[in-house]
Amino acid sequence: MDSPPDNVLAAFDLSSQPVLLPGGQGETWRVGDVVVKPAGLETEAEWRAEVYAGLPEAAEFRVPKPVRATDGSWVVEGWEASAVLAGETDAGRPDDVLTAGAAFHEAIAGLARPDFLDGRADPWTLADQIAWGEQEVVGSAQNVVEDLLEARQPVTLASQVVHGDLLGNVMFADGLPPAIIDWPVYYRPPSWAAAVAVADALCWYDAKPDLAERWSHLPDWGQMLVRALIYRMVTDDIAHGPAIWTSTHRAAYQPAIDLALTYAR
């Protein structure tokens, strides 16, 4: 992706040469002490910046400090900015990720459901709605998540604003609290957000089944794992189509599916 345009940099009062950062889907740039990246859905980016800006310092986690443009806005021509945070992500530390996520979710528990969720349309949003029975399953995903759909049962947990992709978006630095970045906003129970991180760790980062056991005290744990896996697998199907379901890709999910079905019984 091209670097931020000169007029965007000027709007954020930045003059250093942009440097492409690793990760961030190849779209995140460091400009001096500021990170600049595409904002995605503008209403979501503005809401998120306001929340970040209003959060007090915490001993358990850090968040990006958003940078306003010179006219006071958070988003300029589809770009947002925040102060550089020290640290690196580490998906091999799922327990630390989950602990930081729990503290973050506790800190934001009082936030109202944001209106922009009603207008968001992307594979992740649709897959989330399917996982929670709010939309019918579509495409070839019906077959690959059939066992999970059969195991899904109603739950009565309260929802709140949560981070829907924790595992790869928590940065660690010596002597500092974990930093929670790249926040995709969902309105679901916090135990679902934890289950997504556990499912990701089990499927893609060689986590052992005892990770799920350590967090099994969370409410409706089996049902949250079931929904987390439906969410991830349906997203794969919507975003990539039936071709994604090679034997290798399908096999990566199977141990986590078996584990979720055990907890859901």
Note whether 114 and 238 are same-domain residues.
yes
Identify the three-state secondary structure at position 11.
helix
pLDDT tens, residue by residue, 141-164: 888 999 999 999 999 999 999 999
Residue 154 lies in a domain: yes
Q: Is residue 52 part of a domain?
A: yes
Cα(84)–Cα(31) distance, integer angstroms: 9
pLDDT for 32: 96
Confidence (pLDDT) at 84:
97
**49 and 79 assigned to the same domain:** yes
CATH number at residue 113: 3.90.1200.10
Q: Specify the number of domains making up the chain.
A: 2
List Cβ neighbours of 29 (8 Å cut-off, separation of 6 or more).
3, 4, 18, 19, 20, 21, 35, 36, 37
Looking at residue 224, its pLDDT comes to: 98
Domain endpoint, select from 85, 114, 130: 85
Is there a single domain that holds both residue 223 and residue 202?
yes
Residue 71 inside a domain? The answer is yes
How would residue 22 be classed by pLDDT, with cut points 50, 70 and 90? confident
**What pLDDT, on the 0 to 100 scale, is given for residue 206?**
96
pLDDT of residue 65 exceeding 70, the answer is yes
Are 24 and 44 part of one and the same domain? Answer: yes
- Residue 177 domain-assigned (yes or no): yes
Residues 62 and 170 placed together within one structural domain of the fold: no
Same domain? 56 vs 79: yes
1 pLDDT band, cuts 50/70/90, is low
Exposure letters 86-117 (e unless 16+ CB within 10 A, then b): ebebbbebbeebbbbbbbbbebbeeeeebebb
Query: How large is the average pLDDT for residues 34-61?
Result: 97
Average pLDDT of the chain, as a whole number: 96
1 part of a folded domain:
no
- Mean pLDDT for the stretch of residues 5-28: 91
> Can you give the residue range of the structural domain that contains 183?
89-264
Task: Report the pLDDT value the prediction gives residue 139, as an integer from 0 to 100.
Answer: 75
| Domain stops at, among 16, 50, 85 | 85
Instruction: Using pLDDT thresholds of 50, 70 and 90, give the confidence band for residue 133.
Output: very high
Same domain, 198 and 221: yes
In this structure, is residue 94 part of a structural domain? yes
The residue among 28, 56, 85 that closes a domain is 85
pLDDT for res 17:
95
**pLDDT above 70: residue 47:** yes
Cβ atoms of 152 and 146 closer than 8 Å: no
Shared domain for 109 and 78, answered yes or no, is no
My answer on whether 95 and 150 are in the same domain is yes
For residue 182, report the phi and psi dihedrals to the nearest 5 degrees: 45, 65
Residue 235 has pLDDT above 90, yes or no: yes
Confidence of residue 182 (pLDDT cuts 50, 70, 90): very high
Residue for token pair 């056991």 = 213
Residue 148 sits in the same domain as residue 27: no
Q: Are residues 225 and 111 in the same domain?
A: yes
Is residue 186 in some structural domain?
Answer: yes
Domain containing residue 49: CATH number: 3.30.200.20
Shared domain check, 259 and 172: yes
27's enclosing H/E stretch is none
